[in-house]
Structure 1
Amino acid sequence: MKTNMTTESAQTLAVQALAFLAGDDELLPRFLSLTGIQPGDIRTAAREPGFLAGVLQFYLAHEPTLMRFCEATGSKPEDMQRALNALPGGDEAWDRQI
């Protein structure tokens, strides 16, 4: 049975995913290129609603990247989707709740 993830838990997982990106010389340039964010703007962007959902979407859009993160951190792929659904900008139902 699937259970919902709290927003706090989702944010924690997304921040962990962002830190993983920031520490990877292959993934970070790809993320920056796809998002158009400059390296010096990541901290500012991370405070914007929807940014953390975008980080999770980056992983979910490319299965090898998702699996690389999950294997390195012991996370479950399905938790990434659950986290996305719990974040602003990650699920239309979340946006309707506020």
Structure 2
Amino acid sequence: MKLYEIAHSRTGDKGNLSTISLIPYEEENYERLKEEISAEKVKDWFSELGVTKVDRYQVDSLKALNFVLHNSLGGGVTKSLALDTHGKSLSSALLEMELD
């Protein structure tokens, strides 16, 4: 099962950081996301981008996870040669992850 089958996501950026929210469609899937989607797993998922660190924040009141990806935008919006300098497609890339 792909992550997009049970959750949706949004992406933001600041400098060379990307933030990716992960929100289940059904509240009962929040616990599953907390168990399966670790900061390390997200870091490994985006390793080809050169991500050096991922912080994971749990927002239990909203039943959401937020990930901060360090060094994910090729130096930042004004320095990157990537087509998606803001990293807006990273949320879609995360949703392609397989769940156990």
TM-score class, shorter-chain normalisation, is 0.3 to 0.5
Could you tell me the TM-score, scaled by structure 1's length? 0.33
Task: Considering fraction of residues, name the structure with more strand.
Answer: 2
Task: Considering fraction of residues, name the structure with more helix.
Answer: 1
Could you tell me the TM-score, scaled by structure 2's length? 0.32
